Amino acid sequence: MSFNTRLRLIQEKRNSLLCVGLDPDLRKIPKDLLVHDDPVGEFCRQIIAATSDLVCAYKLNLAFFEVLGERSWSTLHGVLASIPQGVITIGDAKRGDIGNTAEMYAQSLLGEFKFDASTVNAYMGADSVQPFAKDPEKGVFVLALTSNPGAKDFQYMRTKGKPLFEHVVAKAKKWNDNDNVGLVVGATRPVQLKRIRQLVPSMPLLIPGIGAQGGDVKSAIRHGCDAGGKMAVINVSRSVLYASSGQDFADAARSSVASLCNEMNRYRDRYF
């Protein structure tokens, strides 16, 4: 089964488009957890236990694990092992190299850690993406239009009558031979999100930027979903992870996730 088909079925079964971004900042997790041998891992495992029945995916930002130093890989393995089958795991590392280096990055994320999908920067072209996309069961989300202010430095530059991000979208569409390629499109760009969905009616869109970054749930649903109200993977991180700084952090995360899912599904019912 291709990655994109699997994603669609999971979203349908769980009636959820929500992806929780695991960006565990040791400086922000509840102080009570610092007594654990692996406080970051414990924090993530409790978040997962409280929310896994409500989400379609978890996106693990590797930077927040790599900063832990030599213990980072064991923490990452432990967190991944706590995610139930039937939930998509996305390794958010934004790799973007070529040749043997890209092969090794893909082998690390998709082989060693067994992520279901990864994020990739296509600035160096097709050979920086191909190693991540050659297995139909593994997904690759290509950066198209990001939610950060610096996106305007390059992504909107016009060439051959179109902004650069539209050229990336067109290439990603061609690379989707195995039905496992998607795009990263920031929720803070609703007009462009609508345009990208028009260009790729059925490909999955990973949509960060909801919550702390100011993205709007309504626009993300209305413009990010396919015609059936699916294939938008809407990522929320800080507003869920740090909904409470106390001992009730996991319960608060669940309440936040449940509220977001209900809001998303209300808009899905309205528009699809």
Q: Which two tokens stand for residue 15?
A: 């009636």
Say which DSSP state 215 is in. B
Residue 181's SS3 state is: strand
Query: pTM of this prediction?
Result: 0.97
Catalytic, out of 13, 28, 31, 94: 94
Beta-bridged to residue 162, according to DSSP, are 159
pLDDT in tens, 38-90: 999 999 999 999 999 999 999 999 999 999 999 999 999 999 999 999 999 99
Q: Within 10 Å of residue 70's Cβ, how many Cβ atoms?
A: 6
**Is 114 assigned a catalytic role?**
no
Q: Hey, CA dihedral for 5, 8, 13, 17, is it positive or negative?
A: positive
Residue ranges in 90-163 assigned as alpha helix (H): 99-106, 130-133
All structural domains of the chain, each given as residue ranges with its CATH number in brackets, are: 3-271 (3.20.20.70)
CB-based contacts of 159, cutoff 8 Å, min separation 6? 167
**Count of CB atoms situated within 10 Å of the CB of 262:** 10
Q: What is the pLDDT along the chain (272 residues), one digit of tens a residue?
A: 999 999 999 999 999 999 999 999 999 999 999 999 999 999 999 999 999 999 999 999 999 999 999 999 999 999 999 999 999 999 999 999 998 999 999 999 999 999 999 999 999 999 999 999 999 999 999 999 998 889 999 999 999 999 999 999 999 999 999 999 999 999 999 999 999 999 999 999 999 988 767 789 999 999 999 999 999 999 999 999 999 999 999 999 999 999 999 999 999 999 99
The DSSP-derived string for 114-127 is: --SEEEE-GGG-GG
